[in-house]
């Protein structure tokens, strides 16, 4: 990427990032936009597992309990102090939090904590779009990438094909018209009795199955748009299993997964070709999927594109990506006012 024009006071600025949009309580300190000094994630997945999905009220309460210790741990791991007084300046130069999209009660915990810290430490507050943060998860691990790239954000809540032209310049090329990819994994896994979260369970079981066993539909592939749909695929799985009760679950898992991966890659590749992207990046929880990663590498190699696969820690929600996105927003737009609220349905603009 071309060298950035960075004011001296920002070049080494440390940003405390906070992420509480869903079921991960996370805090991280990132210096100069790309140097991760610490990144702490406390997952609530065990709290929600018995309900088969994230329960918003439980998530908010857990964030309230976990956030302060998680922030304290982020300072310890960075070798910094979270103690600032009138005589002693804080060890971070700004505090950022995800303000949307996400669960409103969960977002509010992070946003109000970040504002309170920024106010008491006398440093700027930065409000971060969670989807923009996912774009930065990719860049944190591939700082030399040449833009434009297409980023496929595939998580439990989102399936987006985003053109990233430059810092702060994005265009959503396509998205799901119904279920998100991770949601389809979770719903199919629940139907197959594989528990929650469904993505990792299907990923593991699919290794033992035959992905050619059942030809599930690839909805909307070849329709000229960059949109996808997964609810019909989920219905096709349910209908098939009801009609063939003796079918091997591993074959269903492998065949379902192949249909999801085929669909995502067909659209991601078409999007990349249409905008002349140099590569395709993955982000979001489903980016941890082993078949999707393997097929993305193969596809990009065949097409002369770069494949950008974040580490598994950067696929799932974390606060390092929030702090990195915040630093770039600060550089481009300055700090945010303290009256910014949580925006549950925030889009990527």
Does residue 186 belong to the site contacting ligand KG4 (CB under 6 A)?
yes
Residue of 329, 321, 343 whose CA lies nearest to 94: 329
- Identified binder of ligand KG4 from the candidate list 98, 155, 263, 299, rule CB under 6 A: 155
Of 33, 100, 101, 284, which one interacts with ligand KG4 (CB under 6 A)?
Answer: 284
Report the residue from 38, 129, 155, 255 that binds Zn ion according to the rule CB under 5 A. 155
State the nearest-atom distance from the C-beta of 169 to ligand KG4, in Å. 23
What is the nearest approach in angstroms of ligand KG4 to the Cβ of residue 254?
Answer: 12
The C-alpha atoms of residue 68 and residue 75 are separated, in whole angstroms, by 11
Q: Are 18 and 63 in contact (CB under 8 A)?
A: no
Q: How many residues bind Zn ion (CB under 5 A)?
A: 2
Q: Is 316 in the site for ligand KG4 (CB under 6 A)?
A: yes
Closest separation in Å from C-beta 166 to ligand KG4: 24
Spatial separation of the C-alpha atoms in residues 81 and 325, rounded to whole Å: 23
Minimal distance in Å, beta carbon 45 to Zn ion? Answer: 13
Whose tokens are 């910094």? That residue is 80
Task: Select the residue interacting with ligand KG4 from 100, 110, 156, 279 (CB under 6 A).
Answer: 156
Please give the biggest Cα pair distance in the chain.
73
Task: Please list, residue by residue across 209-244, b when 16 or more beta carbons sit within 10 angstroms of its beta carbon and e when fewer do.
Answer: bebebbebebbbbeeeebbbbbeebbebbeebbeee
Q: Dig out the tokens for 334 from the structure.
A: 């300055």
Cβ atoms of residues 99 and 337 within 8 Å = no
Cβ-proximal residue to Zn ion, closest one: 317
Residues in binding contact with ligand KG4, number by CB under 6 A: 19
Interface residue with ligand KG4 among 194, 288, 323, 326 (CB under 6 A) is 288
**Chain center to CA of 31:** 21
Which of 185, 216, 226, 330 touches ligand KG4 by CB under 6 A? 185
Among 203, 251, 258, 336, binds ligand KG4 (CB under 6 A): 203
Q: If you ran DSSP here, which 8-state letter would residue 3 be given?
A: P
Q: Which conformational region is residue 219 in: left (phi greater than 0), alpha (psi within -120 to 50 degrees), or beta?
A: beta
* Residue 185, C-beta contacts closer than 8 angstroms, at least 6 positions apart: 197, 198, 199, 202, 260, 286
Closer CB to ligand KG4, 37 or 288, in the complex? 288
**Binding mask of the shown chain, residues 297 to 326, with x at each position contacting Zn ion by CB under 5 A:** --------------------x---------
Name the segment binding Zn ion (CB under 5 A); options: 40-48, 152-160, 199-207, 213-221. Answer: 152-160
Positions in the binding site for ligand KG4 (CB under 6 A) = 22, 155-157, 182, 185-186, 197-200, 203, 284-286, 288-289, 316-317
């Amino acid at each position: 990427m071309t060298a950035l024009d960075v004011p001296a006071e920002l070049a080494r600025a440390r940003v405390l990032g906070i992420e509480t949009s869903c079921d991960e309580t996370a805090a991280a300190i990132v210096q100069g936009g790309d140097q991760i000094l610490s990144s702490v994630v406390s997952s609530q997945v065990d709290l929600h597992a018995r309900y088969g999905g994230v329960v918003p009220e439980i998530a908010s309460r857990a964030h309230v309990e976990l956030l302060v210790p998680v922030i304290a741990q982020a300072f310890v791991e960075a070798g910094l102090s979270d103690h600032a007084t009138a005589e002693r300046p804080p060890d971070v130069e700004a505090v950022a939090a995800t303000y949307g999209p996400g669960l409103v009660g969960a977002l509010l915990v992070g946003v109000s904590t970040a504002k309170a810290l920024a106010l008491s430490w006398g440093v700027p507050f930065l409000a971060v779009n969670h989807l923009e943060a996912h774009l930065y998860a990719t860049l944190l691990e591939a700082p030399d990438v040449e833009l434009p790239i297409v980023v496929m954000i595939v998580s439990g809540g989102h399936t987006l094909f985003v053109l990233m032209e430059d810092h702060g310049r994005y265009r959503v090329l396509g998205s799901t018209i119904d279920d998100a990819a991770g949601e389809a994994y979770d719903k199919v896994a629940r139907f197959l009795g594989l528990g929650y979260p469904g993505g990792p369970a299907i990923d593991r079981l699919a290794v033992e199955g035959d992905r050619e066993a059942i030809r599930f539909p690839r909805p909307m592939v070849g329709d000229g748009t960059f949109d996808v749909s997964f609810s019909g695929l989920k219905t096709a799985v349910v209908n098939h299993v009801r009609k063939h009760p003796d079918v091997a679950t591993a074959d269903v898992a492998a065949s379902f997964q192949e249909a999801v991966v085929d669909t995502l890659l067909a659209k991601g590749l078409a999007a990349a070709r249409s905008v002349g992207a140099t590569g395709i990046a993955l982000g979001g929880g489903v980016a941890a999927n082993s078949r999707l990663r393997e097929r993305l590498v193969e596809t990009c190699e065949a097409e002369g594109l770069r494949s950008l696969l974040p580490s598994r820690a950067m696929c799932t929600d974390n606060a390092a990506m929030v702090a990195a996105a915040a630093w770039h927003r600060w550089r481009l737009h300055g700090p945010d006012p303290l009256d910014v609220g949580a925006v549950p349905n925030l889009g990527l603009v």
